[in-house]
Amino acid sequence: MNNNDKKHKKPIIFYYLAALAVLLLLNAIVFPQYLGSTFNEVDYSTFQSMVRSHSVTQAVVENDTVRFIAVDKDGNRSNYKTNIVTNSELSSLLDENGVRYGQDLPEEMSPLLSVLLSWILPLGMMIFFGRMLSRRIGGMNTMSFGKSGAKIYAEDETGKTFADVAGEDEAKDALREIVDFLHNPKKYADIGASLPKGALLVGPPGTGKTLLAKAVAGEAKVPFFSISGSEFVEMFVGMGAAKVRDLFRQAGEKAPCIVFIDEIDTIGKKRGGAIEGGNDEREQTLNQLLTEMDGFDGNKGVVILAATNRPESLDKALLRPGRFDRRIPVELPDMAGREAILKVHAKKVKLEGSVDFNSIARATQGASGAELANIVNEAALRAVRMGRSAVGQEDLEESVEVVIAGYQRKNASISQHEREIVAYHEIGHALVAARQSSSAPVHKITIIPRTSGALGYTMQVDEDERFLMSRDEAFNKIATFTGGRAAEELIFGSVTTGAANDIEQATRLARGMITRYGMSDSFDMTALETVTNQYLGGDTTLACSPETAAKIDAEVVALIRKAHEKAIGILKGDIDKLHELAAYLLEKETITGEEFMRILND
Ligand code: ADP
Ligand code: MG
Ligand code: ZN
């Protein structure tokens, strides 16, 4: 595609130049006398006789010269000039013989050249700059198709295969059937089976949905047409629908092929919301999409894939049988998946002999494929920065923290008193975690500030991946969140803003326990909140009466208070260790989980 693109675009400037050259050449052949400004000088009497013989067609009279054009017997026109000897009879001479004359030659420029300069050149320049501008806006990899002028990304070869997508085995299995269908549509047609026309990839951002769609096209070795829903948003009325029509026309011509609509939620939102004021343009686009999907023959070999991270907002009509009726979840990778993704991306960088990807995978629970790819790249950048020629374990470990918490702010000037507060705060978390059963072991504690604004943090890493949390574990976790603040209170007798993030997380977990996980005594197994977008932060909406809402609030407060008191109790009982560990951390700035456990168990 890239190559095609260049092949198509360069010649356009080339054609303009060629046309210009041809026109100039033509001009020189047809009207040679217009080239240059040479004038044959003749004496005044010759001029007079030429006028009388009617060979002079036009004349320019200046102060003491006459420049004129004359045609000879063979019809050739030439420029002449003569010095005026007597002025008195000149005008009557010209008048009598019907010569047009004036201050300027009426047609000094050839008609062709003047048309060229006044029309074609400006037009050419306008088109040229217009193209440059639109290319700037549209990005390099775009091609315009059809009347709508809309951008459809077309690739003959995506160059991606399932090997590029690590983990996500369930999604790959589901897509393999589509690949097979594209390879051999006849096999399916013969038996009378029609494959679903469309499949919808749903999952959080960065889990490889776009990558998977490309891999399907790459595996099936078919062209890949893609548009992104967000591009429809700024289009003129009617353009969205035209773009959809174009896309399907193109795809129909190139079948078998893949049509991929990324971020389909931007056009596929539920329709008919009078509250929204009715977005006619989006509705038109969506209707056109539905029409096109119904209109084409599923056995032709066009498979439509779409991706979204807010499936709950899609119009039900899109999910009906015969449209995107197959739903393929692309979830965040599990530990094995994370390790596999790290390894896929590590193939692109030089590695030192002994790199333990498993420990990196363990430390990155909840990270998406895109984040893991970023971690590997950050590690490579760090290796370069450190002047090494290969990526080591240390680079990867540091870049995990960079991606989670931002870069180190080595030269941030923090007062000794504040560093003390941060050290006690972090040891508070770690100590509360360590003294409770079934909480994840402490992996690392640091008080080096990060660009994210964190002044320090405690990293806990589970031995194995966890999918469930018991009520006790959830409560212990809340206690761990409150541990930082609890240490500040105990040691300094005052509190700081440093616990803001802990407070937020503790509250979210406590609320969840009561409203969604059925872990409270008063509400039993009642769902009081529902998650509205599971893949984007998991916002919730309350589904209960105001009285219940007030009771929930009271329960949340009580739960957190209980956990907070538990944390204070743990730290009070271990105050010597708190002092010892905080002093050690202050000195070292960063300590490992082993160091922490060694001092704790001394
Ligand atoms: P999505 O479309 O789901 O938001 P993308 O497909 O755009 O995510 O993924 C962004 C990048 O993250 C990919 O280009 C790839 O480098 C990396 N990535 C994500 N998931 C995976 C995966 N499962 N295996 C390998 N790389 C992945
Ligand atoms: Mg994407
Ligand atoms: Zn904290």
Note the pLDDT tens digit of each residue in 64-109: 788 888 888 777 778 888 887 766 677 787 787 777 777 665 555 5
Q: Distance (Å, rounded) from C-alpha 167 to C-alpha 338?
A: 7
Q: Distance (Å, rounded) from C-alpha 81 to C-alpha 95?
A: 18
Report the CATH architecture of 335-405.
Orthogonal Bundle (1.10)
Pairing of strands 77-83, 40-41: parallel
SS (H, E, C) 548-580: HHHHHHHHHHHHHHHHHHHHHHHHHHCHHHHHH
Average of pLDDT values for 404-427?
87
Is there an atom of ligand 1 within 6 Å of 216 CB? no
Is there an atom of ligand 1 within 6 Å of 159 CB? no
Is there an atom of ligand 1 within 6 Å of 226 CB? no
Closest to 362 (Cα-Cα) out of 340, 339, 341: 339
Residues 229 and 264: beta-carbon distance below 8 Å: yes
Report the CATH architecture of 151-329.
3-Layer(aba) Sandwich (3.40)
Expressed in angstroms and rounded, the spacing between residue 582 Cα and the centre of ligand 3 is 14
Q: What is the model's pLDDT at position 3?
A: 40
- Hey, whose CA ends up nearest to atom 7 of ligand 1? 210
- Hey, whose CA ends up nearest to atom 12 of ligand 1? 370
Q: How confident is the model at residue 143 (pLDDT cuts 50, 70, 90)?
A: very low
Q: What is the model's pLDDT at position 139?
A: 38
Expressed in angstroms and rounded, the spacing between residue 298 Cα and the centre of ligand 3 is 56
Is there an atom of ligand 1 within 6 Å of 207 CB? yes
128-142, 261-275, 308-322, 475-489: range with lowest mean pLDDT? 128-142
Sequence-distant (6+) residues with CB within 8 A of 435 are: 570, 574
Is there an atom of ligand 1 within 6 Å of 370 CB? yes
More confident of the two residues 283 and 545: 545
Expressed in angstroms and rounded, the spacing between residue 205 Cα and the centre of ligand 1 is 9
Q: Is pLDDT of 201 > 50?
A: yes
Is there an atom of ligand 1 within 6 Å of 306 CB? no
- Hey, whose CA ends up nearest to atom 11 of ligand 1? 370
Q: What is the model's pLDDT at position 465?
A: 79
Count how many Cα atoms sit within 13 Å of the Cα of residue 488 in the half-sphere of its side chain.
Answer: 19
Q: How confident is the model at residue 278 (pLDDT cuts 50, 70, 90)?
A: low
Is there an atom of ligand 1 within 6 Å of 165 CB? yes
Is there an atom of ligand 1 within 6 Å of 209 CB? yes
Expressed in angstroms and rounded, the spacing between residue 381 Cα and the centre of ligand 1 is 20
Sequence-distant (6+) residues with CB within 8 A of 212 are: 165, 168, 171, 172, 175, 201, 330
Is there an atom of ligand 1 within 6 Å of 206 CB? yes
Expressed in angstroms and rounded, the spacing between residue 527 Cα and the centre of ligand 3 is 30
Expressed in angstroms and rounded, the spacing between residue 539 Cα and the centre of ligand 3 is 23
Is there an atom of ligand 1 within 6 Å of 344 CB? yes
User: Among 158, 200, 207, which residue has the most ligand 1 atoms within 8 Å of its CB, making it the best to mutate?
Assistant: 207
Buried-exposed string 338-376: b where 16+ CB fall within 10 A, e elsewhere = bbbbbbbbbeeeebeeebebebbbbbbbebbbbbbbbbb
- CATH number assigned to the domain covering 32-109: 3.30.720.210
> For 392-407, what is each residue's pLDDT tens digit?
999 999 999 888 777 7
Hey, where are the domains in the chain? Answer: 32-109, 151-329, 335-405, 416-601
Q: Is pLDDT of 34 > 90?
A: no
- Hey, whose CA ends up nearest to atom 6 of ligand 1? 208
DSSP state, residue 544: S
Expressed in angstroms and rounded, the spacing between residue 69 Cα and the centre of ligand 3 is 95
Is there an atom of ligand 1 within 6 Å of 261 CB? no
Tokens of 371: 């984040």
- Hey, whose CA ends up nearest to atom 25 of ligand 1? 165
Q: Is pLDDT of 150 > 80?
A: no
Closest to 363 (Cα-Cα) out of 355, 351, 354, 372: 372
More confident of the two residues 560 and 521: 560
Q: Which residues are catalytic?
A: 426
> For 205-254, what is each residue's pLDDT tens digit?
999 999 999 999 899 888 898 888 777 666 566 677 888 888 888 888 88
> For 442-452, what is each residue's pLDDT tens digit?
999 999 998 88
Atom of ligand 1 nearest to the CA of 212: 6
Tokens of 167: 């983990």
Sequence-distant (6+) residues with CB within 8 A of 522 are: 551, 555
Surrounding ion ligand 2 within 5 Å at CB are: 210
Q: Which ligand is nearest to the CA of 427?
A: 3
Helix H or strand E encompassing 65: strand 65-71
Mean pLDDT of the chain: 83
Expressed in angstroms and rounded, the spacing between residue 370 Cα and the centre of ligand 2 is 10
Topology classification of domain 416-601: Methane Monooxygenase Hydroxylase; Chain G, domain 1 (1.20.58)
Is there an atom of ligand 1 within 6 Å of 536 CB? no
User: Among 165, 175, 202, 211, which residue has the most ligand 1 atoms within 8 Å of its CB, making it the best to mutate?
Assistant: 211
Q: Which ligand is nearest to the CA of 168?
A: 1
Direct distance between the N- and C-terminal alpha carbons of the chain, in angstroms, rounded to an integer: 65
Q: Is pLDDT of 26 > 50?
A: yes
The neighbouring-strand residues paired with 77 are 71
